[in-house]
Amino acid sequence: MTRLTIDGVEVEVAPGTTVLQAARAAGRDIPTLCFDERLAPFGACRVCLVGVQDAPGPIASCTTACREGMVVDTQAPAARRVAGAVVELVLSELAAPPAEHTELAAVARQFGVGEPRWPGAVHPEREDLRHPYLAFQHGLCISCGRCVRACDEIQGAFALTATGRGFTANVAAGIDAGFRESACVSCGACADTCPTDAIAEVSLLALAESATI
C-alpha cells in the first residue's frame, strides 16, 4: 500500500492508484473535463490540476500515480488558477455558453468562470443530423478526445477520429461522411461521454431547447 496526504488527511491506497482516484475516494472533489472513469486516463485538458509539495508546478491528477509520502493540495491556488484559466480558454472558443446540463457548464460553475475575458475567434457552427439518434454539433467540440476514446476503448468500433490541428481540431465519424457511412454501430457511447453536446442524442436536442424557454 502507498501512503500519502491529501488536503491534510492521510490516506492509504493500492499501488498504481492515481491521485485523482485517491482524492475522490477520500471524498475530495477535483473537477475534470477529459476524464471518464470508463476510459484510460488521458491528461489532455489540465482541468484536474492539483498542487504537490516540492513539485515544480501543478500536476494533472488523472495521470499521476500516487507515491509514498506525497503531499497533495487539491485547492492549491496555482493549480486552481491555471485550471480555471484553461476552462475559460475553452469557453472562449465557443460561439455560445454550453447548455446548462453539460459537464462543461458544470465545471465552469465549479471554477466560477462566467463570460470569458478573451474575445476572439469562435468555432463555426456545423451540424450533422443524418443519423436518427446521434447528432454532431461540431461547433461545440473542445477536442477532449472522450468520444474517440469511448468508441475505441468501450465499444471497439473505431468509428471516430480526431481531425484537424490547433484551433480547427475537431472530431469526425469515418472520413467525415457522417455516422452512417462510418464503422459506427450506433451504441451512443460517444454522446454519453461528450461533455459539451458536440455529439448529442437527437431526442435531447429539442428537449434542451424547450427546457430553457
Partner 1 sequence: MAERFDRTTTTTCGYCGVGCRLEARAREGRVVSIAPALDGPANRGHTCLKGRFAHQFSRSRERLTTPLIREDGQLRSASWEEATARIVEELTRIRRERGPDAIAGLASSRATNEDCWAMQRLMRAAIGTNNIDNCSRVCHSPTSYALRRSLGYSGATGSFDDIEHADAAIIIGANPTEGHPVAGARIKQAALHGLRLVTIDPRRIELADYGVLHLAPRPGTNAAVLLGLAHVLEREGLVARDFVEARTTGFDAVRELIAAYSPQAVQEITGIPAADLEAAAMIYGQAGEASILWGLGVTEHKFGSEVAQLLCNLALMTGKVGRPGSALLPLRGQNNVQGSSDMGALPDTYSGYRPVADETVARAFEQAWGVPLSRTPGMKIPQMFDAAVAGDLKAMFIFGEDVAQTDPNTTHVVRALEALDFLVCQDIFETETTAYADVILPASSFLEKTGTFTNAERRIQLVGAAIEPPGEARTDFDILTALSRALGHDMGLEAPADAMREIAALTPEFAGVTYERLGRRGLQWPVAPDGTDAPILYGERFEQPDGRAHFAALPYKEPGDAADDEFPLVLITGRRLEHYNAGTMTRRTANLELLPAEWLELHPDDAARLWVADGDLVSVRSRVGRIEVHARITDRIEPGHVFTAFHFPEVRTNLLVGASADVNTSCPEYKVVAVDVRPVQEAPSATPALASAG
Give the footprint of partner 1 on this chain (CB under 8 A). 37-38, 100-101, 132-133, 153-156, 180, 185-189, 192, 201, 203-204, 207-208, 211-212
- Of 121 and 206, the one with the shorter C-beta distance to partner 1 is 206
State which residue, 6 or 91, has the beta carbon closest to partner 1: 91
Closer CB to partner 1, 78 or 177, in the complex: 177
At closest approach, how far in Å is the CB of 84 from partner 1?
21
Tell me how far apart the alpha carbons of residues 103 and 110 are, in angstroms, rounded to a whole number: 10
Using DSSP's 3-state secondary structure scheme, residue 197 falls into: coil
Nearer to partner 1, 43 or 188 (CB): 188
Asked whether 1 and 14 are in contact (CB, 8 A), the reply is yes
Min CB(22)–partner 1 separation in Å: 19
Closer CB to partner 1, 1 or 185, in the complex: 185
Q: How far is the CB of 20 from partner 1 (least distance, A)?
A: 16
What's the closest the beta carbon of residue 136 comes to partner 1, in angstroms?
Answer: 16
Q: What distance in Å separates the CA atoms of residue 5 and residue 11, rounded to the nearest whole number?
A: 6
**CA pair distance 82, 74, nearest whole angstrom:** 13
Q: How far apart, in Å, are the Cα atoms of 125 and each of 34, 49, 84, 174?
A: 22, 30, 25, 20
- Only one residue has cell 464503422, namely 183
- Separation CA 199–CA 78 (nearest Å): 32
| Smallest distance, partner 1 to C-beta of residue 150, A | 9
